[in-house]
Amino acid sequence: MIKRLLIANRGDIAVRIIRTCKELNIETVAIYSEIDKESLHRYMADESICIGPNNINKSYNNIDNIIYLAKKMKCDAIHPGFGFLSENVNFAKACIDNDIIFVGPTPNQIELMGNKSKARETMINLNVPVVPGSKSILENKEEAKKLAKSIGYPVMIKASSGGGGKGMRIIYKEDEFDSLFDIAKSEALASFGDSSLYMEKYIENPRHIEVQVFGDKFNNAIHLGDRDCSMQRRNQKLIEESLSAYLNEDQRNNLYKTSVEVTQGIGYIGAGTIEFIVDQDKNFYFIEMNTRIQVEHPVTEMITGIDLIKLQLLIASGKEIPFTQEDIKFRGHAIECRINAEDSNEDFKPCPGKIESLHIPGGFGVRFDTFIYPGYTIPPIYDSMLGKLICIADNREECISRMDRALDEIIIEGITTNIDFQRELISSKEFNDNTHHTKFIETEFIKNSNV
């Protein structure tokens, strides 16, 4: 079993990993940048050490420094969390080259699934439904325009090495193709160091449903249910729930069967999430696989009772998944709201600053994963997420009511947050009727919102 773990991350996921490690008697080493010297994770870990200055590339994305510190601090493993280097193939290789366990899949699997066009090719070869589009990277603009005409507008241009909405543009008609193609290419290069693009038919108003999978070194593969992440703004998830109320049992089982077959088909090791869009006729199409733990993993933990970080650490230690698919039982319904330091009245601009006071909601079926505390100053250079508020209840209706109560109870003073905006979202008729979609916030909700 892993004895001493370096956590190559910050914020709520670093705190989350430390808590599981304490229960497993695994020693933890936290890294932090200069601006993060008051961050909660460095106080919770057994030891902590400054990784570098505020510049991300000189701290949390500095592979050489992280490997050096892991060896200096005698760590036998590194957990990358999510974001930063979590899906960086060079980081995974560097860990292996230095006899350090990388808590995640193999470098080859990260490379295969991290390149969206290669992942798409792989899914086609595994007979997994994909959105009509390019079979591989687009060679040039002229080829792309011909393909767009053949599959029909609207189309979506996407960065091959991308994620989080970067390098992504929807093109509705031919006369806007050239400018949007160039913008996507430039943005992809700036964000990922790779300007390659691929194309998909744009499915209007889809649902976004993903399946949590795990694989081990013994070729065992399981799923832990699905998550509906359709409540998004600009391709960033705001609310996630499990299980999705959009699918019937046959559709759900088909999705699970496909996901497990993919996991086994590529010999996947560790935690992964296979993401699909589902159209209005309930047809599902593969869009990508994330080769890391997800931000929204707590809703899966709530309905299964399984600690996903613990399972990651067990598998990384070379152990077999300690249960079978038949052992996994789903209980109730869980919803997660992402609480961000942002102003919904000012185009969701980030709102860093000092937290003057904090009240964390409690009561039956309520959980808040966070790294903030009274007196802590939110730095201006990282993601604006403050934490995740998660509720579980016997059914979706009761869970929505519980989340409304918890959002009413949470108090964060000193900075502006999206709490009121989240409360309006979960109270909306469309969310309660389960008729929302990935573009609902931008095309319908904000126009009618009082926030």
Annotated catalytic residues are 292
DSSP state of 442: I
The structure tokens 């003073």 sit at 413
CA distance 290 to 160: 13
Would you state the structure tokens that stand for residue 209, as one six-digit string? 């449903």
Torsion of CA 337, 235, 8, 299, to 10 degrees: 30
DSSP string, 111-143: HHHHSHHHHHHHHHHTT--B-SB-SS----HHH
Contact, 40 vs 372, CB < 8 A?
yes
- DSSP line for 328-370: ----SEEEEEEEESEEGGGTTEE--EE--EEE---STTEEEEE
Half-sphere exposure of 394 (CA within 13 A, CB side): 0
Distance separating alpha carbons of residues 35 and 52, to the nearest angstrom: 9
In 361-410, alpha helices (H): 396-409
Among the residues of 52-165, which ranges form H helices? 63-72, 89-97, 107-114, 116-125, 141-151
